[in-house]
Amino acid sequence: MTEKKYFGTDGIRGRVGGGVMTAEFALRLGRAAGQVLGSLSRANAIVIGKDTRISGYMLESALEAGLSSAGTGILLLGPMSTPAIAWMTRSMHASAGIVISASHNPFHDNGIKFFNQHGEKLSDELELAIEAELEKDFVTAPSERLGKARRIEDAAGRYVEYCKSTFPNSLSLHGMHIALDCANGAAYRSAPQVFRELGARLSVIGDQPDGLNINAGCGSTHPQALQHAVKTTGADLGIALDGDGDRVLMVDEAGEVVDGDRLIFLLAKHLHAQGQLSGGVVGTLMSNQGMETALQALGIPFLRANVGDRHVHQLLRDNGWVLGGESSGHILNLELASTGDGIISALMVLRVLRETGRSLRELAAEMPLFPQTLVNVSTANPQAVVEQTAVQKLTREANDRLGQDGRVLVRASGTEPLVRVMVECRQADKAQKVAEQLATDIQEIASCI
């Protein structure tokens, strides 16, 4: 397959004003996307939504102009989460969806992600077709064929109602006190509305976006803020979303973080016990060994995909399964959503709590975690570093030293200029020691490239 020039593991991402995150590039990308994706449905319209970054205004306008120049209609949703945009793409029978977001990254980064007409990530073939179109001359359609833009004023309300519909009518959140961290991101309005309308009492943080504070010391990448909120408010549990609303982590009543692996496990166990789990569970190369061990003990098949929710999605599709996700809190239930949805995932967990009458802390404790250490190595070209023979040799040697007690994974980040060194071991101090030494050795090799 031809190597991609712009698309990474989750769309196109970078620092605003440098590289590809400019108004000029977004203009050209809009035209190219319109040419390739505009005809995927009879609507010949593409929806655009964004998170709360200040650069979203600039990129939205440029994409709108590019799509119009290609003769493609535009449906503007405003600030909405990534999964909301995926759902609206399907609901509106649009040709495609565009999300302007860099997810969990700080405000000075941004990204442009795409969904096809089914609300699913684009295939490699479509991404390559867009890149090929980008290389062509910018041609504007005749005036009578230019695309028109229309703002969908009730988009957020539609999505809120859909989220609520995934929670059984026979259940309620009345009597439950939830601390909610919206990461100053795309779900800052819709998430509180969903949980309140289902009856929960909320203590909300991270719901005052100013264009610059998205993910800043809050959200699923900084759960300390939510841990503090749970402890100080006496909440029954906490829910932390990320900037674009497709991830969720939770905090139990004692203030302990419950990550994506444990959330997936408790969901799988509950569905399996009710005979409602279709097949097995898909995790990733980063999924904790404790999850695989606990699922196997229940007789639930488990497979690992490459890191990234699109790879989890593909492996689920290939096997006809529905449940999977990542430690970071990307959780997929293909019966409810076409992509990870933080709000819906949280509702799935809350349903288990209500149906079992047990606490989040009790249920999460049923899956012991292997201690895991993650060390990031900063480098301009992470993929080139991990492909170095010396790095691969060091990784094999580290795995051999751990044997049956753990494992080592060294990979290039798909979203940041980092090599991620992950070591998992039954002994936490050993995992820390191996990870730090391996990261130091890799940094030395990276400095020589």
pLDDT tens per residue, range 262-279: 999 999 999 999 999 989
**Tokens 């993650």 appear where?**
374
Q: At what angle do helices 190-197 and 155-165 cross, to 10 degrees?
A: 40
C-beta neighbour count of 298 within 10 angstroms = 14
pLDDT, one tens digit per residue, over 63-115 is: 999 999 999 999 999 999 999 999 999 999 999 999 999 999 999 999 999 99
pLDDT tens digits for 129-180? Answer: 999 999 999 999 999 999 999 999 999 999 999 999 999 999 999 999 999 9
Over the stretch 276-286, which tens digit does the pLDDT of each residue have? 998 999 999 88
Structure token digits, residue 31: 């035209």
SS3 of residue 8 by DSSP: strand
- The answer to whether 242 and 103 have CB atoms below 8 angstroms apart is yes
Structure letter (DSSP) for residue 326: -
The CATH superfamily holding the domain 12-156 is Alpha-D-Glucose-1,6-Bisphosphate, subunit A, domain 3 (3.40.120.10)
pLDDT digits (tens, 9 = 90+) for 216-262: 999 999 999 999 999 999 999 999 999 999 999 999 999 999 999 99
Our answer to whether residue 165 is catalytic in this structure is no
Task: Give the separation between CA 52 and CA 18, rounded to whole angstroms.
Answer: 20
* Segment 354-412, tens digit of pLDDT: 999 999 999 999 999 989 899 999 999 999 999 999 999 999 999 998 887 889 999 99
Q: Which 8-state DSSP code applies to residue 331?
A: E
8 A C-beta contact, residue 445 and residue 321: no
> Which of 58, 120, 60, 59 minimizes the C-alpha distance to 89?
120
Written as one string, the DSSP assignment of 166-188 is TS-TT---TT-EEEEE-TTSTTT
Q: From CA 363, how far away is CA 35, in angstroms rounded?
A: 49
Given the residues 41, 101, 103, 220, select the one marked as catalytic. Answer: 103
Question: How many angstroms separate the CA atoms of 61 and 54, rounded?
Answer: 12
Best CATH choice for the domain 258-341 from the list 2.130.10.10, 3.30.565.10, 3.40.50.10540, 3.40.120.10: 3.40.120.10
Q: Taking all residues of the chain, what is their mean pLDDT, rounded to a whole number?
A: 95
Q: Where are the domains of the chain?
A: 12-156, 164-255, 258-341, 372-447
Q: What is the pLDDT of residue 426?
A: 86
For range 42-58, the mean pLDDT: 95
Tell me, yes or no, if the two domains 12-156 and 258-341 fold the same way: yes
Give SS3 for 389: helix
pTM: 0.90
Count of C-beta atoms within a 10 Å radius of residue 142: 7
What is the CATH architecture assignment of 372-447?
2-Layer Sandwich (3.30)
Q: Do the beta carbons of residue 34 and residue 95 sit within 8 Å?
A: no
Residues listed for the chain: 449
Alpha-carbon gap, residue 196 to 347, rounded angstroms? 12
Please report, rounded to a whole number, the percentage of residues in the chain having pLDDT higher than 90: 89
Mean per-residue pLDDT, 328-339: 96
Instruction: Read off the pLDDT band of 53 (50, 70, 90).
Output: very high
- Taken in order 395, 396, 401, 404, is the CA torsion positive or negative? positive
What tokens were used for 445? 């090799």
Residue (of 204, 206, 205, 203) closest to 177 by Cα position: 203
**Tens digits of per-residue pLDDT, 414-446?**
778 999 999 999 889 999 999 999 999 999 999
pLDDT of 1 over the 70 cut: no
Is the model's pLDDT at 347 over the cut of 80? yes
Assess whether pLDDT exceeds 70 at residue 186: yes
- Domain covering 164-255: architecture: 3-Layer(aba) Sandwich (3.40)
Q: Token pair for residue 292?
A: 């695989």
Q: Are 419 and 410 a contacting pair, CB within 8 Å?
A: yes
